Structure 1
Amino acid sequence: MSFPNETIVPDKVTVGPPAPPLLSLVVPFYNEQEMIPHFFSGVIPELERIPNIRFEILCVNDGSRDRTLDSLIAYAHADARVRVVDLTRNFGKEAALTAAIFEARGDLIVPFDADLQDPPEVIGKLVEKWREGYDVVLAKRADRESDSPLKKWTAQFFYRIHNDMADLPIPENVGDFRLFTRNVANALKTLPESCRFMKGLFAWVGFKTAIVEYKRAPRAAGKTKFSGWKLWNFALEGITSFSTLPLRIWTYLGVSVAIFALTRAFWLVIRTMLYGVDVPGYASLATAILLLGGIQLIGIGVLGEYVGRIYLESKGRPVYLVRKRYEKAMAHA
């Protein structure tokens, strides 16, 4: 019941402070059972030190053949901040990283390697730089002393060749380790290609970017899963994903060979008219045939790389498939 001239005052609505942003540390795992205890003991304390941040650790098991999945599930059952996504088979690191980014729930996302060569304490520095207003914060290796001389040389060679050939350069000595916002993750989700070179895709989406330098550490345990052959194929994937210059090179080479052949034919006609015909050997003829045959085969191989990519993309298959997800149920008050 109300009375005349009565003033009704609405109940006050108590609004608490907004929840701190959620940081998703996304980590692909492949046969890393030896590294898992070192990983969690090194990462969780560093994430807990970051002020005004909630976090989750999203682990993607990329078809491991050892006990990696069992170990990850044990951590997920013990800590609600750990989630595990188990893929149906080994799809490769780029696909596993894509799955991790797509499955992450955070406002901030940090791709990270399980080998701890990227120091966990750098994550706090990335967050500090993000607070200055950047959408992407790259973690750049100040030196590569932990790498072998051959790996350092090949890395420098790859970045130089790729950035000279590609329309969009990628930052040198920057791996997958970086921080980016939910807006960047949503932009990555709109890119439909199934052959994914993530370093190039990170660069392609753009956004306001800053750099934090750090020193990379040696692997704490286990062995690297990247052989020289895999690194070579990875480099080819990067170049063919973001440049058509290899195709144009063979056009230019073909034009150059044709000009040389016409010039030599013209010279042979003039020489025959002036000096008559001699009887040359077959060595030069065989050399020319083998040289031109080799050039043609290389050109066909380069063309095949691009045709193969078209073939794979035309199938429209998903980048990855999830077998099961594991996480501890959150307790509600």
Structure 2
Amino acid sequence: MTPRPSGPVLLSLVLPCFNEQGVIARTHQTILASLGSLPDVELEIVYVDDGSGDDTPKILAGLAASDSRVRVVCLSRNFGHQAAVTAGLDHARGHAVAVLDADLQDPPGVVLEMLQAWRQGFDVVYAVRTKRKETAWKRAAYSAFYRMLSRLAHVDIPCDSGDFSLMDRAVVQRLKELPERNRFVRGLRAWVGFRQTGVVYERQARQGGESHYSFWKLVRLALDGLFNFSTLPLTAVFVMGLFISAVSSLAVLGLILFKLTGASIMGHTAQDLPGYTSVTLAIFFFGGVQLASLGLIGEYVGRIYMEVKGRPPYLVREVMNGEARPAGEKAR
């Protein structure tokens, strides 16, 4: 692996924001203290306001007015975290682009380690969480999700790595060329390949406000990761159907032989078995299997429907210290 040549580097930081008025000013000061005076590094900070309902846009406007390194992308409404990350990548201009949360759970100082690995020749440097200062149920849910996804997905998505990462300009451009509207950025980042490595860090507690990922939003994110990068659920339904058909055929054959031979089991003959019980159980069982199968297929069909409509993943209302670009357009 060939190290990158030394020289001035434009480093872009992408921070999606949603109702972060209690922490965003502190986040900005922490970024400047950690990364604002690096030698041979020009800093660009891209804040993406994802339709906040508090004073986050006003605070970001003040930062943009006082610091030319700040670019603020205001979306027309709340499109979700993954769409906000996508908008930030579309508007970032750096040779290297880092994505991190705006609540200081992702320490900006870790970007220094990522930048060093990037200079060594890696194209993607993702952060791997060794500890999470969150509730026990969230830690357990995240752990189960990442391990399930690593087993089921058709790409190698590193365990315990989220969107916190640094990517080379070439990788960002490849991500922007992908046509998906319903995005799972960490999965797409793994799918594009290139030379990747990880750095470990301890994820901090939120420094202000409350988490915007409710239980159901986490479930939705997990489903996005599973259905966007795996067809194994469809295969599992097919295999289950074959298995049930085989077992049912054997059961019918056994019942026929039971009746023809007049054999008894534990003193009971075929005439002693009430027919409606087995029929009722069979109806409930196969009805449940069919509904689950239809729901699973419907999830994939619904996602195809959303993609076919071709709507952009986000719409921009305003850009401060820059100009708006349609989703996927090259940064200049």
TM-score with structure 1 length normalisation? 0.90
Within 2, Cα distance between the matches of 1:178 and 1:114? Answer: 14
Distance (Å, rounded) in 1 between the aligned partners of 2:67 and 2:198 = 32
Tell me if the contact between 1:80 and 1:328 (Cα under 8 Å) persists in the aligned partners: no
Matched, 1:54 2:48: no
Q: Map Cα deviations across residues 9-32 of structure 1 (whole Å, 9 max, x no partner).
A: xxxxxxxxx971110000111111
| 1:167 maps to amino acid | H
Q: 2: CA distance between counterparts of 1:189 and 1:253?
A: 38
2:197 is the counterpart of 1:202: no
3-state SS of the aligned residue for 2:48?
A: strand
Equivalents in 2 of 1:138, 1:158: separation in Å? 18
4+ residue segments displaced more than 2 Å: 276-279, 281-288
Q: Which amino acid aligns with 1:184?
A: V
1:64 matched to 2:58: no
- After superposition, residues 243-262 of structure 1 pair within 5 angstroms as 243-262=230-249
Corresponding position of 2:289: 295
Counterpart in the other structure of 1:226: 213
Is this contact kept in 2: 1:76–1:328, CA < 8 A? no
Name the CA distance, whole Å, in 2 between partners of 1:22 and 1:305.
41
Q: 1:143 aligns with which of 115, 131, 135?
A: 131
Structure 1 residues 258-301: Cα deviation after superposition (integer angstroms, max 9, x where no partner): 11111111011111112263341634432222122111111111
Question: How far apart, in 2, do the equivalents of 1:121 and 1:202 lie?
Answer: 22
For residues 159 and 35 of structure 2, what CA distance do their matches in structure 1 show? 27
- CA drift at 1:240: 0.4
| Contact 1:193–1:313, Cα closer than 8 Å, also in 2 | yes
Of 86-95 and 158-167, more deviation after overlay is shown by: 158-167
- Unaligned runs of at least 5 residues, structure 2: 1-5, 263-269, 324-332
Q: Could you tell me which residue of structure 2 aligns to residue 39 of structure 1? A: 27
Larger Rg: 1
The equivalent residue for 2:66 is 78
Q: Give identity over the alignment, percent.
A: 43
Gaps of 5+ in 1: 1-17
For residues 95-134 of structure 1, the C-alpha deviation after alignment (integer angstroms, 9 at most, x for no partner) is: 1100000110111100010110111111111111211111
Matched, 1:126 2:120: no
SS of residue in 1 equivalent to 2:125: strand
Shift of 1:154: 1.3
Q: Give the number of aligned pairs.
A: 311
1:327 and 2:321 aligned: yes
8 Å contact kept, 1:50–1:124? no
Q: Secondary structure at the match of 1:282?
A: helix
CA distance, structure 2, for counterparts of residue 27 and residue 328 of structure 1: 16
Shift, 1:151, TM fit: 1.3
Higher mean displacement: 163-172 or 224-233:
163-172
SS of alignment partner, residue 317 of structure 1 = coil
Matched with 1:99 is: 87
1:6 is matched with which residue?
none
Alpha-carbon distance in 1 for matches of 2:82, 2:320: 21
Structure 2 residue matching 1:194: 3-state secondary structure: coil
Distance 1:182 1:208 in 2: 13
* Pair 1:183–1:44, CA change in 2 (3 A): same
2: CA distance, partners of 1:269 / 1:100? 66
| Amino acid paired to 2:50 | D
Aligned with 2:258 (options 247, 262, 271): 271
On the 8 A contact 1:35/1:220 being kept in 2, the answer is yes
The question of whether the paired residues in 2 share the 8 Å contact of 1:95 and 1:319 is answered with yes
Which segment is superposed worse, 156-165 or 239-248? 156-165
- TM-aligned CA deviation for residue 328 of structure 1: 8.3
Q: How does the TM-score come out when normalised to structure 2? A: 0.90
**Residue deviations 1:127-184 (CA, integer Å, cap 9, x gap):** 112111111111111222x022211211121122112111112011111111111111
Contact 1:79 1:328 in 2 (8 A): no
Out of 308, 311, 317, the residue aligned to residue 305 of structure 2 is 311
